[in-house]
Chains A and B, each alone.
Chain A
Protein backbone atom coordinates (compact mmCIF):
# COMPACT_ATOMS: atom_id res chain seq x y z
CA UNK A 1 0.00 0.00 0.00
CA UNK A 2 1.40 3.44 -0.93
CA UNK A 3 2.03 6.12 1.65
CA UNK A 4 -0.75 8.33 0.29
CA UNK A 5 -3.40 5.62 0.27
CA UNK A 6 -2.39 4.59 3.79
CA UNK A 7 -2.69 8.21 4.92
CA UNK A 8 -6.09 8.48 3.23
CA UNK A 9 -7.28 5.40 5.13
CA UNK A 10 -5.92 6.73 8.42
CA UNK A 11 -7.62 10.10 7.90
CA UNK A 12 -10.90 8.30 7.26
CA UNK A 13 -10.38 6.25 10.43
CA UNK A 14 -10.16 9.42 12.56
CA UNK A 15 -13.23 10.95 10.91
CA UNK A 16 -11.57 13.26 8.38
CA UNK A 17 -13.35 12.84 5.06
CA UNK A 18 -14.93 15.01 2.37
CA UNK A 19 -13.41 18.33 1.37
CA UNK A 20 -11.06 18.50 4.38
CA UNK A 21 -9.70 15.02 3.60
CA UNK A 22 -9.24 15.84 -0.10
CA UNK A 23 -7.46 19.07 0.75
CA UNK A 24 -5.03 17.33 3.13
CA UNK A 25 -4.31 14.65 0.54
CA UNK A 26 -3.64 17.29 -2.15
CA UNK A 27 -1.30 19.17 0.19
CA UNK A 28 0.63 16.02 1.14
CA UNK A 29 0.88 14.92 -2.50
CA UNK A 30 2.23 18.37 -3.41
CA UNK A 31 4.68 18.23 -0.50
CA UNK A 32 6.07 14.87 -1.60
CA UNK A 33 6.21 15.94 -5.27
CA UNK A 34 8.08 19.12 -4.25
CA UNK A 35 10.95 17.07 -2.81
CA UNK A 36 9.71 16.10 0.64
CA UNK A 37 10.43 12.57 1.78
CA UNK A 38 8.02 10.09 3.26
CA UNK A 39 10.48 9.21 6.07
CA UNK A 40 10.69 12.78 7.36
CA UNK A 41 6.97 13.48 6.92
CA UNK A 42 5.86 11.19 9.74
CA UNK A 43 3.89 7.95 9.85
CA UNK A 44 0.32 8.08 8.45
CA UNK A 45 -1.30 7.15 11.81
CA UNK A 46 0.70 9.88 13.58
CA UNK A 47 -0.20 12.57 11.03
CA UNK A 48 -3.88 11.59 10.85
CA UNK A 49 -4.20 11.53 14.63
CA UNK A 50 -2.47 14.87 14.91
CA UNK A 51 -4.98 16.38 12.49
CA UNK A 52 -7.91 14.90 14.42
CA UNK A 53 -6.57 16.04 17.82
CA UNK A 54 -5.80 19.61 16.74
CA UNK A 55 -8.90 20.19 14.62
CA UNK A 56 -11.21 18.65 17.23
CA UNK A 57 -9.72 20.85 19.98
CA UNK A 58 -9.96 24.09 18.00
CA UNK A 59 -13.34 23.27 16.46
CA UNK A 60 -15.04 22.17 19.68
CA UNK A 61 -13.69 25.15 21.60
CA UNK A 62 -15.07 27.53 18.98
CA UNK A 63 -18.34 25.63 19.09
CA UNK A 64 -18.72 26.43 22.80
CA UNK A 65 -18.67 30.15 21.95
CA UNK A 66 -20.85 29.73 18.88
CA UNK A 67 -23.53 27.83 20.79
CA UNK A 68 -23.63 30.46 23.50
CA UNK A 69 -23.94 33.22 20.90
CA UNK A 70 -26.82 31.26 19.32
CA UNK A 71 -28.48 30.68 22.70
CA UNK A 72 -28.23 34.26 23.98
CA UNK A 73 -30.88 35.76 21.61
CA UNK A 74 -33.12 32.74 22.28
CA UNK A 75 -32.85 33.47 26.00
CA UNK A 76 -33.57 37.17 25.52
CA UNK A 77 -36.56 36.47 23.23
CA UNK A 78 -37.93 33.89 25.68
CA UNK A 79 -37.51 36.27 28.63
CA UNK A 80 -39.16 39.20 26.86
CA UNK A 81 -42.17 37.13 25.84
CA UNK A 82 -42.83 36.11 29.43
CA UNK A 83 -42.09 39.46 31.04
CA UNK A 84 -44.74 40.98 28.72
CA UNK A 85 -47.23 38.18 29.41
CA UNK A 86 -47.79 38.48 33.15
CA UNK A 87 -50.19 37.38 34.46
CA UNK A 88 -50.26 34.20 32.38
CA UNK A 89 -53.36 32.27 31.33
CA UNK A 90 -55.11 29.67 33.46
CA UNK A 91 -52.90 26.59 33.12
CA UNK A 92 -55.91 24.30 32.65
CA UNK A 93 -57.32 26.30 29.70
CA UNK A 94 -55.18 24.65 26.99
CA UNK A 95 -56.85 23.31 23.86
CA UNK A 96 -55.34 19.92 24.72
CA UNK A 97 -54.52 19.91 28.42
CA UNK A 98 -51.70 17.34 28.29
CA UNK A 99 -49.91 19.19 25.47
CA UNK A 100 -50.36 22.56 27.18
CA UNK A 101 -49.01 21.23 30.48
CA UNK A 102 -46.07 19.54 28.73
CA UNK A 103 -45.22 22.80 26.94
CA UNK A 104 -45.45 24.79 30.19
CA UNK A 105 -43.27 22.28 32.08
CA UNK A 106 -40.71 22.24 29.24
CA UNK A 107 -40.59 26.03 29.32
CA UNK A 108 -39.64 25.89 32.99
CA UNK A 109 -37.06 23.09 32.80
CA UNK A 110 -35.42 23.26 29.34
CA UNK A 111 -34.15 26.87 29.45
CA UNK A 112 -32.51 26.27 32.82
CA UNK A 113 -30.72 23.18 31.51
CA UNK A 114 -29.75 25.07 28.33
CA UNK A 115 -28.32 27.92 30.38
CA UNK A 116 -26.44 25.60 32.77
CA UNK A 117 -25.03 23.46 29.93
CA UNK A 118 -24.09 26.52 27.90
CA UNK A 119 -22.26 28.07 30.85
CA UNK A 120 -20.52 24.78 31.61
CA UNK A 121 -19.46 24.53 27.96
CA UNK A 122 -18.10 28.08 28.09
CA UNK A 123 -16.20 27.31 31.29
CA UNK A 124 -14.54 24.24 29.77
CA UNK A 125 -13.91 26.05 26.47
CA UNK A 126 -12.20 28.82 28.43
CA UNK A 127 -10.17 26.27 30.38
CA UNK A 128 -8.71 24.76 27.21
CA UNK A 129 -8.44 28.12 25.39
CA UNK A 130 -4.65 27.93 25.03
CA UNK A 131 -4.41 24.19 24.34
CA UNK A 132 -3.20 23.07 20.94
CA UNK A 133 -4.32 19.55 21.75
CA UNK A 134 -6.82 19.09 24.58
CA UNK A 135 -7.44 15.66 26.16
CA UNK A 136 -9.95 13.69 24.11
CA UNK A 137 -12.04 13.25 27.27
CA UNK A 138 -12.37 17.04 27.58
CA UNK A 139 -13.39 17.36 23.93
CA UNK A 140 -16.08 14.70 24.41
CA UNK A 141 -17.46 16.37 27.55
CA UNK A 142 -17.46 19.76 25.80
CA UNK A 143 -19.37 18.32 22.84
CA UNK A 144 -21.99 16.83 25.18
CA UNK A 145 -22.45 20.13 27.00
CA UNK A 146 -22.86 21.98 23.71
CA UNK A 147 -25.27 19.35 22.38
CA UNK A 148 -27.43 19.54 25.51
CA UNK A 149 -27.41 23.34 25.49
CA UNK A 150 -28.43 23.52 21.82
CA UNK A 151 -30.99 20.72 22.21
CA UNK A 152 -32.65 22.29 25.26
CA UNK A 153 -32.57 25.73 23.60
CA UNK A 154 -34.42 24.32 20.58
CA UNK A 155 -36.83 22.46 22.86
CA UNK A 156 -37.58 25.68 24.74
CA UNK A 157 -38.40 27.60 21.55
CA UNK A 158 -40.57 24.76 20.29
CA UNK A 159 -42.39 24.71 23.64
CA UNK A 160 -42.93 28.48 23.45
CA UNK A 161 -44.62 28.16 20.04
CA UNK A 162 -46.69 25.20 21.29
CA UNK A 163 -47.71 27.16 24.40
CA UNK A 164 -48.78 30.08 22.20
CA UNK A 165 -50.97 27.75 20.15
CA UNK A 166 -52.42 25.79 23.07
CA UNK A 167 -53.37 28.85 25.13
CA UNK A 168 -54.21 31.16 22.21
CA UNK A 169 -57.80 31.58 23.49
CA UNK A 170 -56.57 33.05 26.80
CA UNK A 171 -53.57 35.01 25.53
CA UNK A 172 -53.50 38.53 24.07
CA UNK A 173 -53.89 38.27 20.26
CA UNK A 174 -50.32 39.43 19.53
CA UNK A 175 -48.66 36.93 21.87
CA UNK A 176 -49.01 33.68 19.85
CA UNK A 177 -47.88 35.51 16.67
CA UNK A 178 -44.86 36.93 18.50
CA UNK A 179 -44.12 33.47 19.96
CA UNK A 180 -44.18 31.84 16.49
CA UNK A 181 -41.95 34.61 15.07
CA UNK A 182 -39.45 34.44 17.95
CA UNK A 183 -39.32 30.62 17.85
CA UNK A 184 -39.03 30.45 14.05
CA UNK A 185 -36.33 33.12 13.82
CA UNK A 186 -34.22 32.03 16.77
CA UNK A 187 -34.27 28.34 15.89
CA UNK A 188 -32.14 29.19 12.83
CA UNK A 189 -28.91 30.10 14.70
CA UNK A 190 -29.41 27.04 16.89
CA UNK A 191 -29.70 24.96 13.71
CA UNK A 192 -26.42 26.44 12.44
CA UNK A 193 -24.74 25.58 15.74
CA UNK A 194 -26.20 22.06 15.52
CA UNK A 195 -24.74 21.55 12.03
CA UNK A 196 -21.33 22.80 13.23
CA UNK A 197 -21.55 20.36 16.15
CA UNK A 198 -22.37 17.45 13.83
CA UNK A 199 -19.34 18.29 11.66
CA UNK A 200 -16.96 18.52 14.61
CA UNK A 201 -18.39 15.39 16.21
CA UNK A 202 -17.15 13.29 13.28
CA UNK A 203 -13.54 13.82 14.40
CA UNK A 204 -12.17 11.19 16.75
CA UNK A 205 -9.43 12.67 18.96
CA UNK A 206 -7.39 10.34 21.14
CA UNK A 207 -5.07 12.60 23.14
CA UNK A 208 -4.65 11.41 26.71
CA UNK A 209 -5.23 13.42 29.86
CA UNK A 210 -7.93 14.21 32.37
CA UNK A 211 -10.79 16.71 32.22
CA UNK A 212 -9.98 19.55 34.58
CA UNK A 213 -12.93 21.81 35.05
CA UNK A 214 -13.77 24.73 37.29
CA UNK A 215 -16.75 22.78 38.70
CA UNK A 216 -14.49 19.86 39.60
CA UNK A 217 -12.11 22.21 41.38
CA UNK A 218 -14.87 23.93 43.32
CA UNK A 219 -16.53 20.67 44.37
CA UNK A 220 -13.16 19.14 45.35
CA UNK A 221 -14.23 15.59 44.68
CA UNK A 222 -17.66 15.99 46.33
CA UNK A 223 -19.99 16.79 43.43
CA UNK A 224 -23.21 16.20 45.38
CA UNK A 225 -22.20 18.68 48.06
CA UNK A 226 -21.60 21.22 45.28
CA UNK A 227 -25.01 20.39 43.77
CA UNK A 228 -26.80 20.86 47.10
CA UNK A 229 -25.06 24.17 47.81
CA UNK A 230 -25.90 25.42 44.31
CA UNK A 231 -29.52 24.26 44.64
CA UNK A 232 -29.79 25.98 48.03
CA UNK A 233 -28.46 29.25 46.57
CA UNK A 234 -30.92 29.13 43.65
CA UNK A 235 -33.72 28.15 46.04
CA UNK A 236 -32.94 31.18 48.21
CA UNK A 237 -33.12 33.48 45.18
CA UNK A 238 -36.46 31.90 44.18
CA UNK A 239 -37.77 32.28 47.75
CA UNK A 240 -36.89 35.96 47.93
CA UNK A 241 -37.96 36.71 44.35
CA UNK A 242 -41.31 34.89 44.59
CA UNK A 243 -42.56 36.68 47.71
CA UNK A 244 -44.78 35.12 50.36
CA UNK A 245 -47.30 33.61 47.91
CA UNK A 246 -45.07 31.89 45.35
CA UNK A 247 -41.61 32.01 47.01
CA UNK A 248 -41.69 28.79 49.11
CA UNK A 249 -43.30 26.75 46.30
CA UNK A 250 -40.81 28.08 43.71
CA UNK A 251 -37.84 27.48 46.00
CA UNK A 252 -38.80 23.85 46.64
CA UNK A 253 -39.47 23.29 42.92
CA UNK A 254 -36.05 24.76 41.97
CA UNK A 255 -34.19 22.65 44.53
CA UNK A 256 -35.96 19.46 43.41
CA UNK A 257 -35.40 20.24 39.71
CA UNK A 258 -31.70 21.03 40.17
CA UNK A 259 -31.06 17.86 42.20
CA UNK A 260 -33.06 15.71 39.77
CA UNK A 261 -31.24 17.23 36.78
CA UNK A 262 -27.90 16.67 38.46
CA UNK A 263 -28.80 13.04 39.13
CA UNK A 264 -29.95 12.51 35.55
CA UNK A 265 -27.33 14.55 33.66
CA UNK A 266 -24.36 15.03 36.01
CA UNK A 267 -22.40 12.09 34.60
CA UNK A 268 -23.26 12.94 30.99
CA UNK A 269 -21.98 16.49 31.51
CA UNK A 270 -18.77 15.36 33.21
CA UNK A 271 -19.77 16.82 36.61
CA UNK A 272 -19.53 13.54 38.51
CA UNK A 273 -18.09 10.09 37.90
Chain B
Protein backbone atom coordinates (compact mmCIF):
# COMPACT_ATOMS: atom_id res chain seq x y z
CA UNK B 1 0.00 0.00 0.00
CA UNK B 2 1.36 3.42 -0.95
CA UNK B 3 2.28 5.89 1.78
CA UNK B 4 -0.05 8.43 0.12
CA UNK B 5 -3.06 6.15 0.66
CA UNK B 6 -2.14 5.67 4.29
CA UNK B 7 -1.56 9.34 5.08
CA UNK B 8 -5.11 10.26 6.07
CA UNK B 9 -5.43 7.26 8.37
CA UNK B 10 -2.05 7.26 10.10
CA UNK B 11 -3.27 8.95 13.29
CA UNK B 12 -6.14 6.48 13.66
CA UNK B 13 -3.79 3.53 13.09
CA UNK B 14 -1.28 4.80 15.64
CA UNK B 15 -3.97 5.32 18.27
CA UNK B 16 -5.37 1.84 17.58
CA UNK B 17 -1.90 0.30 17.86
CA UNK B 18 -1.46 1.86 21.28
CA UNK B 19 -4.96 0.92 22.51
CA UNK B 20 -3.85 -2.25 24.30
CA UNK B 21 -0.58 -1.20 25.87
CA UNK B 22 2.11 1.50 25.81
CA UNK B 23 4.91 1.04 23.29
CA UNK B 24 8.01 2.75 21.92
CA UNK B 25 8.37 3.93 18.33
CA UNK B 26 10.08 0.86 16.89
CA UNK B 27 7.54 -1.50 18.49
CA UNK B 28 4.63 0.61 17.20
CA UNK B 29 5.98 0.40 13.64
CA UNK B 30 6.60 -3.35 13.93
CA UNK B 31 3.08 -3.84 15.29
CA UNK B 32 1.63 -1.82 12.42
CA UNK B 33 3.46 -4.04 9.94
CA UNK B 34 2.48 -7.23 11.75
CA UNK B 35 -1.22 -6.40 12.03
CA UNK B 36 -1.40 -5.29 8.39
CA UNK B 37 0.61 -8.32 7.22
CA UNK B 38 3.18 -5.94 5.77
CA UNK B 39 0.67 -3.92 3.74
CA UNK B 40 1.50 -0.64 5.49
CA UNK B 41 4.84 0.15 3.99
CA UNK B 42 5.75 3.79 4.65
CA UNK B 43 9.06 5.48 5.49
CA UNK B 44 9.37 4.46 9.13
CA UNK B 45 10.74 7.81 10.13
CA UNK B 46 7.48 9.56 9.24
CA UNK B 47 5.77 7.78 12.15
CA UNK B 48 7.82 9.75 14.70
CA UNK B 49 6.62 13.23 13.67
CA UNK B 50 3.06 11.91 13.89
CA UNK B 51 3.71 10.57 17.40
CA UNK B 52 5.14 13.93 18.49
CA UNK B 53 2.19 15.77 16.97
CA UNK B 54 -0.37 13.48 18.62
CA UNK B 55 1.38 14.06 21.92
CA UNK B 56 1.32 17.83 21.32
CA UNK B 57 -2.41 17.51 20.70
CA UNK B 58 -2.94 15.70 24.01
CA UNK B 59 -3.96 12.36 22.47
CA UNK B 60 -0.77 10.61 23.56
CA UNK B 61 1.54 10.97 26.52
CA UNK B 62 5.11 9.72 26.69
CA UNK B 63 7.92 9.13 29.14
CA UNK B 64 11.47 7.83 29.10
CA UNK B 65 12.19 4.22 29.98
CA UNK B 66 15.45 2.30 29.98
CA UNK B 67 15.83 -1.05 28.23
CA UNK B 68 19.08 -2.90 27.49
CA UNK B 69 21.01 0.16 28.63
CA UNK B 70 19.26 2.40 26.11
CA UNK B 71 16.87 5.24 26.79
CA UNK B 72 13.65 4.93 24.84
CA UNK B 73 10.51 7.01 24.66
CA UNK B 74 7.38 5.03 25.50
CA UNK B 75 4.01 6.31 24.27
CA UNK B 76 0.58 5.65 25.77
CA UNK B 77 -2.96 6.78 25.05
CA UNK B 78 -4.43 9.53 27.20
CA UNK B 79 -8.13 9.62 28.14
CA UNK B 80 -8.62 12.13 25.33
CA UNK B 81 -6.80 9.79 22.95
CA UNK B 82 -9.13 6.92 23.94
CA UNK B 83 -12.17 9.07 23.23
CA UNK B 84 -10.71 10.11 19.87
CA UNK B 85 -9.99 6.47 19.02
CA UNK B 86 -13.55 5.41 19.92
CA UNK B 87 -14.93 8.19 17.68
CA UNK B 88 -12.59 7.29 14.82
CA UNK B 89 -13.58 3.61 15.11
CA UNK B 90 -17.29 4.44 14.92
CA UNK B 91 -16.70 6.67 11.90
CA UNK B 92 -14.53 4.06 10.18
CA UNK B 93 -17.05 1.27 10.71
CA UNK B 94 -19.86 3.42 9.33
CA UNK B 95 -17.72 4.39 6.35
CA UNK B 96 -16.58 0.85 5.46
CA UNK B 97 -20.12 -0.49 5.87
CA UNK B 98 -21.42 2.15 3.46
CA UNK B 99 -18.63 1.57 0.93
CA UNK B 100 -19.09 -2.18 1.20
CA UNK B 101 -22.80 -1.81 0.52
CA UNK B 102 -22.08 0.18 -2.63
CA UNK B 103 -19.22 -1.79 -4.16
CA UNK B 104 -20.41 -5.36 -3.52
Contact = CB atoms under 8 A, between A and B. Distances in A.
B52 A28 contact: no
Contacts of A28: 45, 48
Interface stretch (A45-53, A74-82, A175-183, A219-227): A45-53
A228 to B, nearest CB: 40
A264 B86 CA distance: 48
B40 to A, nearest CB: 12
Contact of A47 (B10, B26, B49, B73): B49
Interface string B34-46: 0000000001111
Nearest to B56: A58
B49 A50 contact: yes
Interface string B2-36: 00000100110000000000001111010000000
A88 interface: no
A136 to B, nearest CB: 15
Contact of B26 (A26, A34, A62): A34
Interface stretch (A36-44, A107-115, A155-163): A36-44
By size class, the interface of chain A is 20 to 34
Contacts of A41: 43-45
Nearest to B70: A30
Given A26-B73, A27-B72, A54 B44 contact: no
A202 interface: no
Contacts of B70: 29-30, 33
A55 B44 CA distance: 17
Given A30-B25, A30-B70, A132-B53, A36 B46 contact: no
A54 B26 contact: no
Contacts of A29: 70
B50 interface: yes
B46 A47 contact: yes
Q: Which of B45, B46, B48 has the most CB of A within 10 A?
A: B45
A252 interface: no
Interface of A: 20, 23-24, 26-31, 33-36, 40-42, 46-47, 50-51, 53-55, 57-59, 62, 132
9 contacts: A29-B70, A31-B29, A36-B26, A41-B43, A47-B45, A47-B49, A51-B49, A54-B53, A55-B53
